[in-house]
């Protein structure tokens, strides 16, 4: 049995947050191939039994850590009044919040995809939990404002801005410069049939 100092014992949400933060850090440090419940417990300064009571497998714990990192999706989608402004704002916010972590995760999850049979797309769907992504919300608003004709929209055209942004982050492992964000958005607007 692991000794635990009763003065520093954590419970409930505090303990769960500590474990999920440790799991995220363990994934980033070791990748999924080196990710273990024991390593997470040690990093969280708790016992592996405490971790196993909440998550039965390392896959469940890894998914919980990724969901925790993504957050509940409660941040409002920027609404600047224009499609171009909204897309730029959401990319700037992504730069400031978690894109570097997302890029590192994508590079460390090869073993996860192999073990679980998931793909980056199915993982994204799992993490969104049925919620619409920011890009989808922004496109729907633009349709409602009359900026975009829905007749010419294909799934690829709808996702081009997010796809180009994600590609840039994964390829550079750095925040995307504002000038590149604007270029990505202008390419996406062209694909969406939006003209100045």
Domain residue limits at 90: 72-191
Residue found under tokens 């994204």 = 124
> Is 122 in the same domain as 177?
yes
Q: Which of 68, 88, 104 is the last residue of a domain?
A: 68
Per-residue pLDDT tens for 9-28? 778 889 999 999 999 899 88
User: Does the structure show a pLDDT above 70 at 100?
Assistant: no
User: For residues 195 and 27, what is the distance between their CA atoms, to the nearest angstrom?
Assistant: 43
- Same domain (yes/no): 61, 146: no
Domain assignment present for residue 112? The answer is yes
Task: Indicate whether 19 and 34 sit together in one domain.
Answer: yes
pLDDT(6) > 50: no
Higher pLDDT, 41 or 7: 41
Residues 6+ apart with CB under 8 A from 69: 24, 98, 101, 105
Domain C-terminal end among 25, 45, 68: 68
Residue 7: pLDDT above 50?
no
* pLDDT, mean of residues 139-157: 94
Q: What is the pLDDT of residue 122?
A: 85
Q: C-alpha angle with apex 27: 120 to 10, nearest 5 degrees?
A: 125
What's the pTM? 0.72
- pLDDT exceeds 70 at position 109: yes
How many Å apart are CA 149 and CA 191, to the nearest integer?
12
| Claim to verify: residue 47 and residue 134 sit in the same structural domain | no
Give residue 184's pLDDT.
Answer: 97
């Amino acid at each position: 049995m692991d000794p635990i100092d009763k003065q520093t014992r954590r419970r409930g949400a505090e303990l769960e947050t500590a474990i999920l933060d440790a799991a995220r850090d363990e994934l980033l440090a070791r990748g999924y191939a080196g990710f273990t419940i024991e390593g997470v417990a040690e990093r969280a300064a708790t016992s592996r039994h405490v971790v196993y009571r909440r998550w039965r497998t390392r896959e469940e714990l890894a998914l919980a850590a990724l969901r925790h990192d993504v957050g509940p999706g409660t941040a409002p989608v920027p609404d600047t009044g224009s499609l171009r402004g909204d897309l730029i704002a959401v990319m700037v916010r992504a730069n400031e919040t978690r894109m570097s972590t997302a890029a590192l995760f994508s590079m460390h999850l090869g073993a996860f995809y192999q073990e679980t049979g998931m793909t980056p797309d199915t993982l994204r769907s799992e993490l969104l939990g049925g919620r619409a992504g920011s890009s989808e919300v922004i496109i729907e608003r633009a349709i409602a404002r009359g900026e975009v004709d829905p007749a010419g929209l294909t799934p690829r055209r709808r996702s081009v801005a997010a796809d180009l942004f994600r590609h840039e982050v994964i390829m550079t492992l750095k925040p995307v410069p504002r000038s590149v964000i604007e270029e990505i958005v202008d390419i996406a607007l062209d694909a969406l049939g939006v003209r100045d």
